[in-house]
Every structure is written in C-alpha cells, then in structure tokens.
C-alpha cells in the first residue's frame, strides 16, 4: 500500500502574502485597510499574528482579516466599548467587528478606531496605566472606599448597595441571598 503524503500549506509570514491569497476585489479592500492603518498609525509596525495581518505599537494595536462575506477588524475590547454606538448596525464580539462586503466599508469609523488605539497604546487615554512591564493595562475599577455609613448597616445584618447606579444580575442575586440569610438569622418577627 502506498503512503499518502500530506504537505502543509506554506506559512504566510507577510501581509503581502496574506493579501494575494484573496480575489481581486477583496485584495483591494485589504490594501485599502492596510493603507488606512499606516496613515493613522505611522509609527506602528506590521506583523502576522494569529495568522492575520496585525499592526503593533507598544503591543498589538489592531488586526484585520478577510472572509468570504466580510472584513474582520479587531481593535481590542476597549475600542469596541468606546465605539459601541457607531457599531450598532454590525455583527460584533468582545474585541471584533464584521464589516459585510456587500455594504460600504465605514473607512472613517475604522480610522477613528485606529486613532483611538494609537492614543491608548501611547498612554494618552483615560483609564489606562503603564504596567510594570511597560505595556498598557486597563485600570480596573476599584471598589469604592469603605465608609461608615455603608459599613454600619452591613454589620447590623442589613444589605445596602455600596455603589450607585444599576446593579448587575449577579450582584442582585448575591444581595438577595444576603437579605435572606440576614432575615433567617434574625429569628421570627414579634408582634407588639
């Protein structure tokens, strides 16, 4: 019996190699995306990461990719949150958006997202701090400082919201559970 040999596809190591693997129309869109990112982030360097075109500036800046029916753009979760209103008509995920090939590509929006990421990568946006390793890290929302007006009722077996605004479903469930435990441990109600 003759053994079949399977050869792996050659590794794509440059954005040029990536682009030429697509139909002419898609190649044009990919080149336009690449040019737009270069213009908005001239200090960024090109790389292939996760097998897709990537621009790097103090870490991964943005990624993009082509698919049969859309261009994928990956500007990180922070940019997705910042531009969520403008992205409302598109399929999105935590750190990505799909721009359908049968609709006009929103080049101005993409440019704004890249500029946002450049500012973020350069440490010029709010909520970002420099990590010890030199990379950018999103500043976590710290718990509000404990204050006696909140601590006293909690210590007395009553639950009060420690933060203003809406409560997440998980926090609401914990709060309800806390009330049930406090009620149970308080014993039966006595009438006057």
* Structure tokens that stand for 30 in this block: 């990919």
**Sequential pLDDT tens for the chain (192 residues):** 666 666 666 788 999 999 999 999 999 999 999 999 999 999 999 999 999 999 999 999 999 999 999 999 999 999 999 999 999 999 999 999 999 999 999 999 999 999 999 999 998 765 443 333 333 333 333 333 333 333 333 333 333 333 334 343 444 444 444 444 444 444 444 444
Distance of CA 109 to the CA centre of its chain: 16
Q: What is the pLDDT of residue 11?
A: 85
Which residues touch 58 (CB under 8 Å, ≥6 apart)? 121, 122, 134, 135, 136
If DSSP codes are grouped into helix, strand and coil, which group holds residue 170?
helix
110 and 74 Cβ atoms separated by less than 8 Å: no
89 backbone dihedrals φ, ψ, rounded to 5°: -85, 5
Q: Which CATH number fits the domain 15-128, given the four candidates 2.60.120.10, 3.40.50.2000, 3.40.50.620, 3.90.1150.200?
A: 3.90.1150.200
- Spell out the alpha helix ranges (H) of 20-64: 24-40
The pLDDT mean for the chain works out to 74
**Residue found by looking up tokens 């009438």 in the block:** 191
Identify the CA nearest to 42 among candidates 125, 121, 126. 121
105 and 73 Cβ atoms separated by less than 8 Å: no
Q: Cα–Cα distance between 67 and 64 in angstroms, integer? A: 10
Angle at 51 between CA 45 and CA 57, to 5 degrees: 20
pLDDT digits (tens, 9 = 90+) for 168-178: 344 444 444 44
76 and 69 Cβ atoms separated by less than 8 Å: no
Q: Domain locations in the chain?
A: 15-128, 148-185
Q: What is the pTM of this model?
A: 0.62
């Amino acid at each position: 019996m003759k053994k079949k040999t399977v050869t792996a596809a050659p590794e794509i190591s440059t954005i040029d190699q990536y682009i030429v693997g697509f139909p002419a129309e898609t190649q044009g869109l990919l080149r336009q995306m690449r040019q737009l990112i270069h213009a908005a982030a001239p200090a960024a360097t090109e790389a292939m990461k996760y097998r897709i075109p990537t621009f790097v500036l103090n870490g991964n800046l943005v990624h993009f990719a082509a698919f049969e029916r859309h261009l994928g753009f990956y500007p990180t979760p922070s940019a997705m949150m910042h531009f969520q209103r403008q992205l409302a008509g598109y399929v999105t995920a935590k750190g990505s958006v799909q721009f359908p090939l049968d609709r006009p590509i929103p080049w101005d929006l993409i440019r704004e997202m890249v500029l946002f990421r450049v500012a973020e990568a350069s440490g010029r946006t709010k909520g970002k701090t420099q990590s010890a390793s030199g990379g950018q890290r999103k500043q976590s929302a710290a718990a509000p400082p404990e204050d006696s007006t909140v601590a006293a009722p909690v210590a007395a077996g009553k639950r009060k919201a420690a933060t203003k605004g809406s409560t997440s479903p998980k926090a609401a469930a914990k709060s309800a559970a806390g009330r049930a435990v406090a009620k149970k441990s308080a014993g039966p109600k006595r009438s006057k």
